[in-house]
Chain A
Amino acid sequence: MPMKPKVPGLFKGLGVTLNTMMTTVTKGANTVQYPHEKEAPPIRARGVIALHEGNCTSCMLCARSCPDWCIYIEGHKELAPPRRAGGAPRKVNKLDRFDIDYALCMYCGICVEVCPFDALFWSPEYEYSEPRIADLLHDKSKLGEWMETVPEAPELEAGADKKGKK
């Protein structure tokens, strides 16, 4: 195969790098100097998973569907007072432990998708690295704290059916 240098292309390439250098010098780089200035992640970014404890029924669907088994759930049943006077006491699932090991999590989001009771949410927070790997195991109180950073769900499209109780 004879080699034919594409001469205009070669010079065009040199022009591209020189232009990029000039724009970087005059207008600044495309990058962000991270620890000093932060880039706002997109609002629906998969940063960390937050837990709304009150909605969780410890049904274990998320733990079972997690591809790398990074969700640990323990719970027990408790008797709660009946809804109507004279009724039988209700059985309620109480959550003892809900841990997500972010050292294992691969941010697939299946747990959030699979949760039937809207207990898990994506939050765009990303700055939770730790010096010790064991500290990446977030317990339910820490997962609950992330709830504050969960953005409001976007409005439903016009004409969409709102599921659930009216």
Chain B
Amino acid sequence: MSLLGIVIPYWGQSLLRVLGGTVAVLLPAGTIVYLFLFKMMSFMQSRLGPMEAGPYGSMQLFAEVGKWLQKEDIIPERADRTIFKVAPLIVLVSTFLLVAVVPFGPDAYFTNFDAGVFYMLAVSSVSVLGILVAGWASANKYSLLGGLRAAGQLIAYELPMVLAVIGVVIQAGTMNLQLIVNEQNAGSMFGWDGLGNPYILTQFVGFGVFMIAVQAELTQTPFDMPIAESELVSGYMTEYSGFRFLIFFIAEFATAGVFALIASVLFLGGWGVPFSWFSWHSIADVDDWMNVVGPLIMFTKMMALVFVIMWVRFTYPRFREDQLQRFAWKALIPISLLNIMVTAILKVAF
């Protein structure tokens, strides 16, 4: 592999990928927390948010991390100590596993394998285990209830997410995320290839269902029944303090970033620009500089999608538990099944 003319040996590539993975998880998480959670939420409530730490509160993130790191690491007496300690890590690791399949450029990917979509959907449900285990190991009835709610919700919304992605997979004819990017950017709409063929135009139903399901998977506000702080005292996170809580917190927003990355790969054309602009025909033709520009494009698209996720989060009040389940099983799943049927019929017809 060569990047900008420099040939990188295998160990160098591995190092780059590990570093890149860490950056791809932590940088969006930090940006999302500062830009959206601290600032955008405040502006939407007509206040300024943190202003004291650094110019416009830009160092607030470090202050918060420092605060959490110096807090006592409390483990309840009756808690299952080992599992209690491991649970936040399970949640965080699932985020790192998720980012492994996201392509950031023609060569800037962590792995490039054919069952990428399948792997992504499988790994994204690992975090459910972490949350359920965290709720159970805390030996606290609020945590247990929160954990059970989380499990019920995440499983309920896993299905519409899977089904929404199937539409994309049918249209692209591949489960490889890199090839899905290729299909979108090399594609054409009725013979016009000026914009490629981003699947948000054909799979808009799938995109809507996917984004709603992502909102629920992230337990962001209209779907934050599991951590409902006014009734469950933050659910499965009740007993966590200090850096274990911090890990849960980072995982929540890092996963928001990674899901936004995946949504932009599946529906918005990923790292690519429409290939016709530079008269490329497939990934093999794409110039090396896209390895640098690609991540920036991905970052922009991710920010746009996270903006929507957070905007919805800061606008709507919380669903009731039964409404939440009914919405998944009675509205989203039938809609996404219908979407699959229509996509399949159109795919065969054309």
> Which residues of chain A have a CB within 8 Å of any CB of chain B?
3, 10, 13-14, 16-18, 20-21, 23-25, 29-31, 33
A3-B323, A33-B51 given as contacts; is B46 within 8 A of A17 (CB)? no
Contacts A/B (CB < 8 Å), 25 sampled = A3-B323, A3-B326, A3-B327, A3-B331, A13-B316, A14-B311, A16-B315, A17-B44, A17-B311, A17-B314, A18-B44, A18-B311, A20-B45, A23-B46, A24-B43, A24-B46, A24-B47, A25-B43, A29-B43, A29-B47, A30-B47, A31-B46, A31-B47, A31-B48, A33-B48
Residues of B within 8 A of A29 (CB): 42-43, 46-48
Residues of A within 8 A of B44 (CB): 17-18, 20-21, 24
Q: How far is the CB of B50 from chain A (nearest CB, A)?
A: 11
Q: Does B40 contact A (CB under 8 A)?
A: yes
A29-B48, A31-B47 given as contacts; is B315 within 8 A of A17 (CB)? yes
Could you give, for residues 315-350 of chain B, a 1 whenever the CB lies within 8 Å of some chain A CB and a 0 otherwise? 110000001001100110000000000000000000
Main secondary structure, interface of B, reads helix
Give Cα distance in the complex from A21 to B315, angstroms. 11
Contact A21 B316 (CB under 8 A): no
Contact A20 B46 (CB under 8 A): yes
Contact B48 A21 (CB under 8 A): no
Residues of A within 8 A of B43 (CB): 20-21, 24-25, 29
Give Cα distance in the complex from A20 to B80, angstroms. 46
Q: How far is the CB of A12 from chain B (nearest CB, A)?
A: 10
Q: A3-B327, A21-B44 given. 9 additional CB < 8 A pairs? A: A3-B331, A14-B312, A17-B311, A18-B311, A20-B46, A21-B40, A24-B44, A24-B46, A29-B48
Give Cα distance in the complex from A31 to B42, angstroms. 10
Q: How many of chain B's residues touch chain A, expressed as a range?
A: 10 to 19
Closest B residue to A11 by beta carbon equals B315
Chain B residues numbered 24-49 whose CB sits less than 8 Å from any CB in chain A: 40, 42-48
Give Cα distance in the complex from A14 to B331, angstroms. 21
Residues of A within 8 A of B312 (CB): 14
Main secondary structure, interface of A, reads helix
Residues of B within 8 A of A10 (CB): 316
Residues of B within 8 A of A21 (CB): 40, 43-44
Give Cα distance in the complex from A20 to B40, angstroms. 10
Could you give, for residues 215-234 of chain B, a 1 whenever the CB lies within 8 Å of some chain A CB and a 0 otherwise? 00000000000000000000
Q: How far is the CB of A8 from chain B (nearest CB, A)?
A: 14
Give Cα distance in the complex from A156 to B171, angstroms. 81
Residues of A within 8 A of B46 (CB): 20, 23-24, 29-31
Residues of A within 8 A of B48 (CB): 24, 29, 31, 33
Give Cα distance in the complex from A10 to B330, angstroms. 19
Closest A residue to B327 by beta carbon equals A3
Give Cα distance in the complex from A24 to B43, angstroms. 6
Closest B residue to A27 by beta carbon equals B46
Closest A residue to B320 by beta carbon equals A3
Give Cα distance in the complex from A25 to B327, angstroms. 35
Q: How far is the CB of B39 from chain A (nearest CB, A)?
A: 9
Give Cα distance in the complex from A33 to B49, angstroms. 10
Give Cα distance in the complex from A25 to B49, angstroms. 12
Give Cα distance in the complex from A21 to B40, angstroms. 7
Give Cα distance in the complex from A30 to B42, angstroms. 11
Q: How far is the CB of B23 from chain A (nearest CB, A)?
A: 28
Closest A residue to B47 by beta carbon equals A31
Residues of B within 8 A of A24 (CB): 42-44, 46-48
Give Cα distance in the complex from A52 to B295, angstroms. 71
Closest B residue to A25 by beta carbon equals B43
Closest B residue to A23 by beta carbon equals B46
Residues of B within 8 A of A20 (CB): 43-46
Q: How far is the CB of A7 from chain B (nearest CB, A)?
A: 12
Give Cα distance in the complex from A31 to B46, angstroms. 7
Residues of A within 8 A of B40 (CB): 21
